[in-house]
Structure 1
Amino acid sequence: MLGDRPASERGQLLVITALVLAVVLVGLALVLNSAIYTENLSTRQSTDSVGVTTAIGTGEAEIERAIHHVNRHNNSSNPKVNRAFDDAIRDLNNDTNDEYAKRGTSYRFQVTDRTNGTHLKHTNSSKSFVSGGSNSGQGDWLLAGSVPHLRDYRMTVQPRYLYTGSDLTIDILMNNAFRVNMTGEDQSGSEVTWEVYVYENDTGDVVVVGANETELLSEDTIEDLTTFEDGCRAVTSSDDEDVTLDFTNGTVSGQSCSGLAFQDHFEGPISIRYENADDNETLAESRSGGTYELAIGTTDYEDQHFHNATEDQSPYATHIIYSARVESHYARADITHSRTMRLYPGIETYVG
């Protein structure tokens, strides 16, 4: 028994026991500190990642705003808009570098590629959607062919400008109502055309009918089309009420309309054409009128059909930076991050 041992042995046992306890306590402290450090490091890395992503996202948003600014204020020629964009990116890069350098951080971005494009607009709401430029007044005309990218395509119409009909047959619709044609190749390489018709029915509503041309020709009446839905009909209270057709979001007056969902039917560039935009000798009223705008990712538009913006006439064309590919690099002592993004203002309607 411990009480029967000499005092020297009992002292040694107490010392050994104390040492063992000390080692255990030190071990527990190391384990606990390690766990706390690991948790702090994990939290810090997570916070840092969010911070880096936020920083780069903020820079990319600034670049998109720069594209929008030069497209609006420096759009009279392709060289001018490109010079203005280069100047804006240089100034933005310098300001960003200086700001982050004060925090001991390196943040820079580089435009590695860009797509020049064209903004096509019709702003005279009292004029029908006929062609302008040197070939003015055409009711059937091509806006642009071989369009690889399209964004922010919107149109407003008023009932008083549209062809009015009831119990329409397909033939009457095709021969009289204003329409937008998108033509290109489908996934099999066959040429297809998506047709969007806009007219006023006998109750004063604006109706949109959109379908593949083959499907359209296979039906006898408009109501037989599977793409014709209530969402493609806008109830109006007067002939002067604006109705918005949003080809980008596929809506009519904010309601989903499958007749505008042309995107999935094509693979590659498309052409955009207007038909029946003008009056003819058998109609007592116009067939189109209002406003429209679209940005295309090409400079190869039909310029003979558009005025210059300085002529203050519709329709007109301006030169834009459609999109830019940007590499962003962020680095500091404990973290680095890079990414490449294709940037543009607005919402893309179609990518071929």
Structure 2
Amino acid sequence: MLPTNDGADRGQLLVIIGLLLGLAFVALALVLNAAIFTENFATREVTDSERSTAYTSGMEAAIEGAYDRTNDNATRKAVHATATFDESLRTWVDSQADAAAERGAVFEADWTTHDGWRLRQDADGSFAPDDDADATDWTVADDAHNVSAFELSVTRDDLYEGADTAAFHVYVSDGTTDWELYIHQSGSDIVVSQGDPATASEQCARTTARAVVDLRNHTFDGTNCDALEIPGTIEGPVEIGYGNVQSSAGDERVVGTYTLVVNGTGAIETNGSNYPERFNVAGKVPPTATAIVYAVEYDTHYERDDIVYDREGRYAPREEAR
């Protein structure tokens, strides 16, 4: 029997409803897929960003490790300090670049190494240079771009006794401005004077058998002392020297130890083989000169798809001052 008109209408309605439901499910599926894609893309962006930060942040830790290994190595030539540091850091950078390439990313790094010298007398003795035991005045460092440590430990009984310019002194000069610090004995005191001890307005005294003079931190026997402040008018590379380390007759006017750390490959005299001229090499009888890495400037680059991260920095563990 043929269907009546009412049945046909109901059938058509069901077909239309079915089509609408189908379209709704298709639309819902598209929306869900888009949401999943967006979430996955966003997650990938976050992951890539975190990786880029990790790569570039790891650079400073790698520099620190290479820096410590180099400077603990008793290196005798500046060129060897550079080579040791660069080889160590290059190994790390290459491994990171390979790891990034496996993820379809690019990691690159460049750096500039600033070499210097650690000058040290670590056993009590005369402050004369290694190559001239009879010297009275001499240049310890020249063309030093920065100084990060300068400390002297002196014994009172070996100091010159008298408030005049015959006493041992340290001098610093930039070629235009000169600065002098005299250290002498006065009874049971050790006295430091900025300029001529007889007329100095800045002077400090300590009643002690031995005292540490820290020119970098401006302390005398652990206490702040204005006489140790080098004026800000001294700028640029400087010359640092000792005067009156002994009399012309050979009488000591200072005995003790010292440490001076300077920035600059050419900050000390070297011979034709690039070994220190006025100091013994590291590991020998003091005074010694050890080549070090003073500071490192670097930049890193990480790139993957639309993620690009560049970073520049400077690694200098010691606060620097001219």
Residue 178 of structure 1 aligns with which residue? 168
Normalized per residue, the structure richer in helix is 1
| Long gaps (5+) in structure 2 | 1-41, 271-276
Whole-angstrom CA distance in 2 between matches of 1:330 and 1:245: 47
Q: Name the SS for the 1:84 alignment partner.
A: helix
| Long gaps (5+) in structure 1 | 1-40, 186-190
Residues 271 and 103 (structure 1), Cα distance of their counterparts in 2 relative to 1, 3 Å cut:
same
Residue 234 of structure 2 aligns with which residue? 266
Residue 140 of structure 2 aligns with which residue? 143
Whole-angstrom CA distance in 2 between matches of 1:205 and 1:321: 38
Q: Is the 8 A contact 1:118 1:318 kept in 2?
A: yes
Once the two structures are TM-superposed, the CA of residue 324 in structure 1 deviates from its matched residue by 2.0
Q: Which moved more, 1:98-107 or 1:155-164?
A: 98-107
Pair 1:221-2:199 in alignment: yes
Aligned partner letter, 2:158: Y
2:179 pairs with 194, 204, 207, which one? 194
Residue 69 of structure 1 aligns with which residue? 69
Pair 1:82-2:82 in alignment: yes
TM-score (norm 1): 0.65
Residue 219 of structure 2 aligns with which residue? 251
Residue 21 of structure 1 aligns with which residue? none
Once the two structures are TM-superposed, the CA of residue 101 in structure 1 deviates from its matched residue by 8.5
Pair 1:209-2:193 in alignment: yes
Q: Is the 8 A contact 2:142 2:240 kept in 1?
A: yes
Residue 291 of structure 1 aligns with which residue? 257
Aligned partner letter, 1:131: P
Residue 6 of structure 2 aligns with which residue? none
What is the CA RMSD across the aligned residues, in angstroms?
3.3
Deviations 1:314-350 (A, max 9, x none): 2121222222211133567886543322323433232
> Who wins on radius of gyration, i.e. which is larger?
2
Whole-angstrom CA distance in 1 between matches of 2:183 and 2:298: 40
Residues 109 and 206 (structure 1), Cα distance of their counterparts in 2 relative to 1, 3 Å cut:
farther
Q: How does 1:57-136 map to 2 (within 5 A)?
A: 59-73=59-73, 75-94=75-94, 109-111=109-111, 113-125=112-124, 127-133=125-131, 135-136=132-133
Q: Name the SS for the 1:156 alignment partner.
A: strand
Q: Name the SS for the 1:93 alignment partner.
A: helix
Whole-angstrom CA distance in 2 between matches of 1:198 and 1:346: 26
Residues 341 and 137 (structure 1), Cα distance of their counterparts in 2 relative to 1, 3 Å cut:
farther
Whole-angstrom CA distance in 2 between matches of 1:282 and 1:79: 37
Whole-angstrom CA distance in 2 between matches of 1:79 and 1:256: 38
Q: Which moved more, 1:57-66 or 1:85-94?
A: 57-66
Residue 35 of structure 1 aligns with which residue? none
Q: Is the 8 A contact 1:68 1:345 kept in 2?
A: no
Q: Name the SS for the 2:232 alignment partner.
A: helix
Residues 326 and 221 (structure 1), Cα distance of their counterparts in 2 relative to 1, 3 Å cut:
same
TM-score (norm 2): 0.70
Q: Name the SS for the 1:67 alignment partner.
A: helix
Q: Identity percentage over the alignment?
A: 26
Pair 1:306-2:310 in alignment: no
Once the two structures are TM-superposed, the CA of residue 183 in structure 1 deviates from its matched residue by 1.1
Once the two structures are TM-superposed, the CA of residue 73 in structure 1 deviates from its matched residue by 0.7
Once the two structures are TM-superposed, the CA of residue 107 in structure 1 deviates from its matched residue by 5.9
Aligned partner letter, 2:191: V
Q: How does 1:227-242 map to 2 (within 5 A)?
A: 227-228=202-203, 232-236=204-208, 239=209, 241=210
